[in-house]
Structure 1
Amino acid sequence: MLEFVQNINKVLWNYILIFLLCGTGIAFTFGLKFVQVRKFGAAFKKAFGGISLRGKKAGEDGMSSFQALATAIAAQVGTGNLAGAATAIAAGGPGAIFWMWLSAFFGMGTIFGEAVLAQVYKEKVDGQITGGPAYYIRKGLNSKFLAGFFSISIIIALGFIGNMVQANSIGTAFSKAFSIPTLVVGIITAALAGLIFVGGISRIAAVTEKIVPLMALLYIIGSLFIVIANWAHIIPAFKMIFVGAFNPKAATGGLIGVGVKEAVRYGVARGLFSNEAGMGSTPHAHAVAKVKHPEDQGLMAIVGVFIDTFVILTLTALVILTTGALDGKTTGIELTQKAFELGLGNFGNIFIAVSLFFFAFSTIIGWYFFGESNIRYLFGNKGLPVYRLLVLAFIVVGTTMEVKLVWELADTFNGLMVIPNVIALLGLMGVVKKSLKKYEELES
């Protein structure tokens, strides 16, 4: 079974989805005349101009634009930011980071389109504003089948299996750093998550707008401290990234014997998996933002990808490369832990455990919320109590087990939910273009 699922994932992620997601990103980037470049300054101003850790209380009519961005980033910045960059470097060489940047650049175009469509097609279900790909697939493409297929895929991929993966990362990290039994960590994590879930959209918004800026700041400071302490290796690290993008063996002196194909494949796949552009997850958060124009939230979505990939993922990569942690043998979270231990001594392990808790826990909140939007789409509010209990059970079970099959299944369902979303994005690109044109006419 494991081998069967792994083979599906190889075809799905290494070939089909890379071309689908990158192709969609390129199409949106050119179709919207490089909106991520033209409007980058305006996007940053919107995101951080009125930043507040105590925004207005979210409710049935949605949440503030910043709260929606924080909820989206909560989901984007997860264990993939710690393990993803390390996996990409270990499997594709330092040059994988260059391809990660390139895929994220085009991904900004995709995510702008996703957020705009989520706003255009949002609706009220049982008195609650909600939206996301299921809504724009059903109303925009007029396909109930694809909308239902997407909803079921994301509930399984993120709400259930994905949250098991995030919970497992917390359990493993805390067990290693503080010798706490994984079951105890699972029960505590589920209890904390449960308190947030029962508070609905208002509590989710209140928690993410506080936790996301603080966790990002904590990680940025810790990473910058290590990178600056190893300042003599900063330029060689960038050289390894740019040389490795086109000649991986030369970048590491043959330490990692891979070709350009692997550098591209792992960089693009890990980057897209981390920033979630085109996957159809973050539009659920952007749909409920209270904004004047859909494009206002589209610009906020661009900032989410920038923070995820160009800030957090890049800092992880620089810590690995400037500390000399890359040995050709260690990969994943172990490589990141090794790099932080080299940079911060014994405290490095604790720093990663705490960072991982914040990253993974915030992702659990974000992914729960995305699943909730789709439960509401399929069953209305009556399906929520059962969904909450199931997610909490998956969190507890997830911390105690390490089954490779669960990880592979998470990748499979993540891949499956991309397909209907990308079909909708390409089919509705005209709607986004028209909406952006009208927005720019109002601005001028």
Structure 2
Amino acid sequence: MDSFIQTLSNLVWSPALVALCLGGGLWFSIRGRFLQVRLIGEMLRLLFQHKEGSTGISSFQALTMTLAGRVGTGNIAGVATAICFGGPGALFWMWAVAFLGASSAFVESTLGQVYKVNISGEFRGGPAFYIEKGLHSRAFGTVFAIVTILAAGFLCPGVQSNSITNAFNNAFGLNVYVSTVVVISLLCFIIFGGLTRIANFSVIVVPFMAQIYIVAALIIVGVNIEKLPGVLELIFSSAFGADAMFGAMLGSAVSWGVKRGIYSNEAGQGTGPHASSAAAVSHPAKQGLVQAFSVYIDTLFVCSATGFMVLLTGCYNVIAPDGRPILTQLAGVEAGPGYTQAAVESLMPGWGSPFVAIALFFFAFTTILAYYYQAETNVVYLTRGTRRAWPIFLLRVVFLIGTAYSAIKSAGLAWAMGDIGIGLMAWVNFVAILLLQGPAFKCLRDYEAQRKLGLEPAFDPSKLGITDAEYWTQHQREVNELLEKSAGVDNRVLSEEQERRDLAEAKKGRRTGLYGSHRNDD
């Protein structure tokens, strides 16, 4: 079974998928005139905008929910694994994926907003919705929904839970079964509380865990600052095959950098639009820009923090594609969170390993929550028009069982299964957003045009020639009705005021004529 899973993972993550992710991101960057650079200031402005209306969640809540999915085990164990099997140059290709992926994240999250729907008082959206409405293919949307339920509901959560139990076992000697019970109990409490409870939990945890982790990384960089120029040179030279030791690993550096980069930041994978579609905003491009910035937070900040800690402290091994060890600096430590734990432990003996274990718990746990929300959204998509209580209850039970099962199994099998899930979603979603990119860039041009006029952008799909934007069409109809009623009230008020003035003038005229006649009589 392990051999079959690994073979399937390699098949899914063929060079074609790597080229699709990098090429697609480059094309979106060019078409958007490198919006990921031009509009950074606007991204920062939008992060803390208040929620528009009573339905949905705020932009910041949507950001933290997507970061809960983006910032996870991949930021600690994934980076260390990429360095082990791709060499230090893999970190550069993770940066490249983040830079190009920011434009992909903009496209998919904007599309998610354009084609979102209001179901039972909650905004729902994602690739399945925009595939059906934008590409007019229910069958294609159903394929993505099924793939996502399989990936997010079964294949991917195990990577996170497995990393939690292993990290706590390494740091505290805690039995994996005890850790599993704790994780599953917390999951039960939160996922049965619905979208709002997931969002509220993410708002509290995600910013806190990211800040603490980055501060720890900055301390380690500061202590080893004299090594930083050499590490940067090593990263860039090995990224392009110019380093003497890692020169033969160029293909591995690109492959592992892209694979772990997408696993970490999820740009173009189709996960981000699920949470970003739940945001209540006045224009779809707002969430597109916020989600583009979330890719930077994930990779350029958190992944870089892990990479620099591992490389500066020399706590890593490098294995060639044929299994031959090229560099062995940690004896007996498996590629994964152990590298990061050893790196922090070198600065804080006795504290480093527990600190990473706790950080990993928060990273991984919030990612599990994000996976659940994505799976639930696609169950809702498939069961619209029917009673959804029992399918969602069944999803929750299967999700909890799968998460618990993977938590006590081998890390290698869990990662291979996760790679399959991520890869399948990326294949389907990237094809979809390449076919459906037009509305996203129409939104971008419309947004920038309104901003240049000094307006707070508002979205009207009919003006852009966008059809089947169900929520926005209804929203614009309601706005127009309110404007018409308001105009009617204003006109009525003006008419009544004019009538009063005319009546007053008439009375005044009659009084003047009456007195004049009396004077003539006299």
Q: State the TM-score bracket (shorter-chain normalisation).
A: over 0.9
TM-score (norm 1): 0.93
Deviation at 1:29, TM superposition (A): 0.6
Asked whether the 8 Å contact 1:111–1:277 carries over to 2, the reply is yes
Return the letter of the residue paired with 1:324: G
Q: How does 1:183-202 map to 2 (within 5 A)?
A: 183-202=177-196
State the match for 2:431 in structure 1.
Answer: 423
State the match for 2:226 in structure 1.
Answer: 232
Residue-by-residue CA offset, 1:9-59 (whole Å, 9 max, x unaligned): 223214121111112111111111111111011102222x56xxxx87998
For residues 391 and 91 of structure 1, do their structure 2 counterparts lie closer, same or farther at Cα, with a shift above 3 Å needed? same
Deviation at 1:257, TM superposition (A): 6.2
Residue-by-residue CA offset, 1:265-296 (whole Å, 9 max, x unaligned): 22122111210001000110000101111011
* Equivalent residue in structure 2 for 1:134, among 124, 128, 134: 128
Return the letter of the residue paired with 2:401: A
Asked whether the 8 Å contact 1:58–1:201 carries over to 2, the reply is no
For residues 7 and 392 of structure 1, do their structure 2 counterparts lie closer, same or farther at Cα, with a shift above 3 Å needed? closer
* Equivalent residue in structure 2 for 1:208, among 198, 202, 205: 202
For residues 236 and 58 of structure 1, do their structure 2 counterparts lie closer, same or farther at Cα, with a shift above 3 Å needed? farther
Asked whether the 8 Å contact 2:52–2:282 carries over to 1, the reply is no
For residues 355 and 212 of structure 1, do their structure 2 counterparts lie closer, same or farther at Cα, with a shift above 3 Å needed? same
Asked which structure has the greater CA Rg, the reply is 2
Deviation at 1:118, TM superposition (A): 0.2
State the match for 1:341 in structure 2.
Answer: 345
State the match for 2:302 in structure 1.
Answer: 312
Return the letter of the residue paired with 2:277: A
Aligned partners of 1:230 and 1:70: how far apart in 2?
A: 31
Aligned partners of 2:398 and 2:250: how far apart in 1?
A: 43
Moved more, 368-377 or 120-129: 120-129
Question: Which one has more relative contact order, counting CA pairs under 8 Å at least 6 apart?
Answer: 1
* Equivalent residue in structure 2 for 1:284, among 274, 281, 291: 274
Aligned partners of 2:97 and 2:68: how far apart in 1?
A: 20
Asked whether the 8 Å contact 1:186–1:398 carries over to 2, the reply is no
Return the letter of the residue paired with 1:101: W
For residues 183 and 297 of structure 1, do their structure 2 counterparts lie closer, same or farther at Cα, with a shift above 3 Å needed? same
Q: How does 1:32-431 map to 2 (within 5 A)?
A: 32-47=32-47, 49=48, 61-247=55-241, 249-250=243-244, 254=245, 256=246, 258-327=248-317, 328-329=327-328, 331-380=335-384, 381-382=388-389, 383-402=391-410, 404-431=412-439
Q: CA RMSD in A?
A: 1.9
Asked whether the 8 Å contact 1:248–1:263 carries over to 2, the reply is no
Moved more, 148-157 or 66-75: 148-157
Gaps of 5+ in 2: 318-326, 453-522
Aligned partners of 1:58 and 1:258: how far apart in 2?
A: 56
Asked whether the 8 Å contact 2:51–2:279 carries over to 1, the reply is no
Aligned partners of 1:208 and 1:378: how far apart in 2?
A: 26
Deviation at 1:95, TM superposition (A): 1.5
Residue-by-residue CA offset, 1:224-269 (whole Å, 9 max, x unaligned): 111111111112111111222223533xxx2x56332222222122
Deviation at 1:406, TM superposition (A): 4.0
Asked whether the 8 Å contact 2:263–2:419 carries over to 1, the reply is no
Asked whether the 8 Å contact 1:169–1:356 carries over to 2, the reply is yes
State the match for 2:450 in structure 1.
Answer: 442
Gaps of 5+ in 1: none
Identity over the aligned pairs, expressed in percent?
Answer: 39
Asked whether the 8 Å contact 2:56–2:123 carries over to 1, the reply is yes
Deviation at 1:355, TM superposition (A): 0.6
Asked whether the 8 Å contact 1:14–1:269 carries over to 2, the reply is no
Aligned partners of 1:216 and 1:271: how far apart in 2?
A: 17
Deviation at 1:173, TM superposition (A): 1.0
Asked whether the 8 Å contact 1:69–1:286 carries over to 2, the reply is yes
State the match for 2:15 in structure 1.
Answer: 15
Aligned partners of 2:421 and 2:96: how far apart in 1?
A: 25
Q: Secondary structure at the match of 1:62?
A: coil
Aligned partners of 1:349 and 1:202: how far apart in 2?
A: 33
Moved more, 294-303 or 140-149: 140-149
Residue-by-residue CA offset, 1:64-107 (whole Å, 9 max, x unaligned): 01000000000001101001211221222212211211111110
